[in-house]
Amino acid sequence: MDSQPSTLRRFAQYLIPYRQQIPVAVLFVSIGAFSQGVAPFLIGWSIDNLIGKGNFSGLMQMLVVVLAVYLIGFSAFRGHILRTNWITQNVLAQLRQDIFTKIQTLPLSFFDTSSAGDLMSRLLNDVSTVNQVFGLAISQIVSSSFSLVGIALAMLAVNLQLGLLSNILVPLVIIITTLFGGWARAKFRLTRTSIGELSSRLEEDLSSVREAQAFNRIERNINDFRRLNAINRDANIQATAITAAFLPTIDVLNTLSLGGVLAYGGYLAVAGKMTVGTVTAFLLYVQQFFQPIQILSQFYTQAQSAIAGLERIFLLLDEPSQLFDAFDAREMPPIQGGVSFENVSFGYKANQTVLKNVSFCTAPGQMIALVGATGAGKSTIINLILRFYDVTSGAVKVDGIDVRSVTQASLRSQIGIVLQDMILFSGSIAENIAFGCPDATTTEIETAAKVANVHEFIMTLPQGYDTLVGARGVTLSQGQRQLVSIARAVLVNPRILILDEATSSIDTRTEELVQDAIAKILQNRTSFVIAHRLSTVTQADKVMVIQQGQILEQGTHTELIALNGVYANLYALQLGTDES
């Protein structure tokens, strides 16, 4: 089933907010089309009634009239182009906004299987293609359509026989345009898909240059990129070849129509059945008639690229939001910090189980340590508390309230998180600390930085809190980024704090600062700490050993050591490794 009509109807819905502006653009283009239809008639009439009779004075007056008609038409078409382009650019801006909003609100499960490069390609490349085709071209299409109708009616009014002869090739033009358009759309779909894959690979390779060099993957990456680049190149060449063959075909039909009018019109003029002025007018009409046909036909083939881009855009916009607030969701009241899992099972995929009937309960203010091998399910527990995903069965409750019954925003606004590799954003240090509280005052930001033990370092920088950190905080060390991220969590003042390997990958001196900062922000807060270094969680109120999606052991450090089970073995192994 051809999706082109539905895609265009969907795009047309974006024009609805500008329905009051569209009649103005139509008025402009109608005036322009009228001027195109009148001018050749006036020229033909002048040849027969002024030049033929030697009326030079009348000819000069008529030239002024014809010039005025063309100026009116020029002004009308200019007004139409400006108005239409204003509408189109607003539509495209809204389309980009809708894409970005959709990406921001999609559940994390969508990003598990989608690359950032492909999403960026839809936001930038696909919208850019739509802009290139529909931006200025749409005003030409509307004006060409009106001109085509106006010229066709004028030809039929001047002489029915020549008018019908001039229009006889139009059905053939439509058939050829449809054929070429179908071929072009198939190729342009491939170009849009391939540029998405290329963008995805580029984003991935640019973010892993260090790893590529370290593991001698440079030549392999270059060859892989060359292959994807060649696919995109070949698809574009094939699409261009189709459009390149299309325009000469339309030119041939234009020449045939012009020759037919000249031959038959000349015959009628020689036979005294038509004036020379009428024949001249028709030759001008035919030239004008096929100009909008060429524009429309060329646009139709080129528009296939934009339609292919729109199809990809609308597929993204139609992506179901698997995670949403319930229709009767309420605001989460101020959190005290009690968290409970009640027979929770969960899998990221339908046929996969990551957590199996997990149950536990924590009291407000407790420190809970989650330990276990990579992939055991520790981070999954954290994701479910934040409701990044919904449980497959069971319930996750905060203060006895099912997290699915409250709004996501009101829940997450009371939970802070510090990750192993916390991302900083392009901007100043102050802006990064205030990421979760954009309206925070300078005093509040500095207070949070002092708690996180990063204030003194910030003050050594030339611009202090206004120092730009670069993309992903590249100008700061791993430890400095970690301290800034802790300050960010402090400023939010969460009742539940999540620490995911917050002290790994940093030097000993910075680790002391981080540990001290963590100790301060853990006070009077419920906290969940994921750590591979068991020495950092010995003071936890409860340690839960996660293995293959289940809680294998739980208790205090002392209790688990006395149990002499999995945790005791892990601790002994790490202690022995540290001593050695």
The CATH number assigned to the domain holding 480 equals 3.40.50.300
Greatest extent of the chain over all pairs of C-alpha atoms, in Å = 121
Query: Which residues contact residue 341 at a Cβ distance below 8 angstroms, ignoring those fewer than 6 apart?
Result: 358, 359, 360, 361, 381, 384, 394, 395, 396, 397
Per-residue tokens: 202: 């580029």
Given a contact cutoff of 8 angstroms between Cβ atoms, the answer to whether 308 and 191 are in contact is yes
- Burial-class residue 305 by CB neighbours within 10 Å (0-12, 13-18, 19+): buried
Residues 272 and 367 grouped into a single domain: no
Given a contact cutoff of 8 angstroms between Cβ atoms, the answer to whether 368 and 542 are in contact is yes
Percent of the chain scoring above 70 in pLDDT: 78
Given a contact cutoff of 8 angstroms between Cβ atoms, the answer to whether 414 and 472 are in contact is no
Residues 441 and 308 grouped into a single domain: no
Domain annotation covers residue 333: no
Given a contact cutoff of 8 angstroms between Cβ atoms, the answer to whether 557 and 538 are in contact is yes
User: Mean pLDDT of all residues in the chain?
Assistant: 78
Most confident among 76-90, 173-187, 531-545, 555-569 (mean pLDDT): 555-569
Residues 59 and 198 grouped into a single domain: yes
**Confidence tier at 385 by pLDDT (50, 70, 90):** very high
- Mean pLDDT for 30-39 is 71
Domain annotation covers residue 168: yes
Q: Could you say which of 267, 285, 317 is where a domain stops?
A: 317
Dihedral sign of CA atoms 38, 40, 43, 47 in order: negative
Residues 457 and 506 grouped into a single domain: yes
Residue 179 pLDDT: 73
Domain annotation covers residue 325: no
Q: Could you say which of 317, 349, 375 is where a domain stops?
A: 317
- Asked whether residue 32 carries a pLDDT value surpassing 80, the answer given is no
Least-confidence region, from 134-138, 201-205, 300-304? 134-138
- Helix (H) / strand (E) element for 358: namely strand 355-362
Q: Looking at the 3D structure of the chain, how many domains does it have?
A: 2
Amino acid at 195: I
Per-residue tokens: 549: 């999606």
Residue-wise over 548-562: b if at least 16 C-beta within 10 A, else e?
A: ebebebbbebeebbe
Residues 242 and 380 grouped into a single domain: no
Domain annotation covers residue 538: yes
Helix (H, G, I), strand (E, B) or coil at 475: coil
Least-confidence region, from 199-213, 218-232, 387-401, 525-539? 199-213
Rg over alpha carbons for the chain, rounded to the nearest Å, is 35
**Confidence tier at 113 by pLDDT (50, 70, 90):** low
Q: What pLDDT digit, counting tens, does each position of 115-142 carry?
A: 666 677 676 677 777 776 665 556 666 6
Residue 297 pLDDT: 63
Residues 346 and 208 grouped into a single domain: no
- Mean pLDDT for 470-488 is 80
Residues 198 and 313 grouped into a single domain: yes
Question: Which residue(s) pair with 360 in the sheet?
Answer: 341
Residues 308 and 348 grouped into a single domain: no
Given a contact cutoff of 8 angstroms between Cβ atoms, the answer to whether 25 and 83 are in contact is yes
Q: Which of 261, 260, 251 is nearest to 290 (CA)?
A: 251
Helix (H, G, I), strand (E, B) or coil at 337: coil
Query: Which residues contact residue 269 at a Cβ distance below 8 angstroms, ignoring those fewer than 6 apart?
Result: 275, 276, 278, 279
Residue 538 pLDDT: 82
Domain annotation covers residue 271: yes
Given a contact cutoff of 8 angstroms between Cβ atoms, the answer to whether 514 and 502 are in contact is yes
**Confidence tier at 505 by pLDDT (50, 70, 90):** low
What is the DSSP annotation of 136-201?
A: THHHHHHHHHHHHHHHHHHHHHH-HHHHHHHHTTHHHHHHHHHHHHHHHHHHHHHHHHHHHHHHHH
Please state whether the predicted TM-score (pTM) of the whole model is above 0.85: no
- Using CA atoms, how far residue 325 sits from 70, 137, 410, in Å, is 60, 42, 11
Residue 579 pLDDT: 44
**Confidence tier at 338 by pLDDT (50, 70, 90):** very high
Residues 347 and 279 grouped into a single domain: no
Question: Which residue(s) pair with 468 in the sheet?
Answer: 428
Dihedral sign of CA atoms 64, 65, 69, 75 in order: positive
- Asked whether residue 511 carries a pLDDT value surpassing 80, the answer given is no
- How crowded is residue 91: how many other Cβ atoms within 10 Å of its Cβ? 23
- Using CA atoms, how far residue 91 sits from 86, 104, 135, 430, in Å, is 9, 20, 10, 35
Query: Do strands 367-371 and 542-547 pair parallel, antiparallel, or not at all (unpaired)?
Result: parallel
Residues 406 and 261 grouped into a single domain: no
- Structural domain of 182: 4-317
Query: Which residues contact residue 535 at a Cβ distance below 8 angstroms, ignoring those fewer than 6 apart?
Result: 574, 575, 578
Q: Could you say which of 250, 284, 317 is where a domain stops?
A: 317
- Using CA atoms, how far residue 185 sits from 285, 302, 499, in Å, is 32, 8, 50
CATH value at residue 14: 1.20.1560.10
Residues 483 and 393 grouped into a single domain: yes
Q: Is 394 left (phi over 0), alpha (psi -120 to 50) or beta?
A: left
Domain annotation covers residue 421: yes
Domain annotation covers residue 277: yes
Q: What CA–CA distance (Å, rounded) separates 481 from 473?
A: 7
Residue 259 pLDDT: 77
Is the pLDDT higher at 42 or at 302?
A: 42
Per-residue tokens: 571: 């601790």
What is the DSSP annotation of 268-336?
A: HHHTTSS-HHHHHHHHHHHHHHHHHHHHHHHHHHHHHHHHHHHHHHHHHHTS--SS---TT-BPPPPP-
Q: What CA–CA distance (Å, rounded) separates 114 from 95?
A: 20
Residue 116 pLDDT: 65
Given a contact cutoff of 8 angstroms between Cβ atoms, the answer to whether 433 and 488 are in contact is yes
Domain annotation covers residue 326: no
- Rounded to the nearest 5°, which phi and psi values hold at 543? -110, 125
Residues 128 and 31 grouped into a single domain: yes
Given a contact cutoff of 8 angstroms between Cβ atoms, the answer to whether 525 and 337 are in contact is yes
- Rounded to the nearest 5°, which phi and psi values hold at 373? -70, 160
Q: What CA–CA distance (Å, rounded) separates 393 from 342?
A: 9
Q: Which of 391, 224, 143, 188 is nearest to 308 (CA)?
A: 188
Given a contact cutoff of 8 angstroms between Cβ atoms, the answer to whether 316 and 99 are in contact is yes
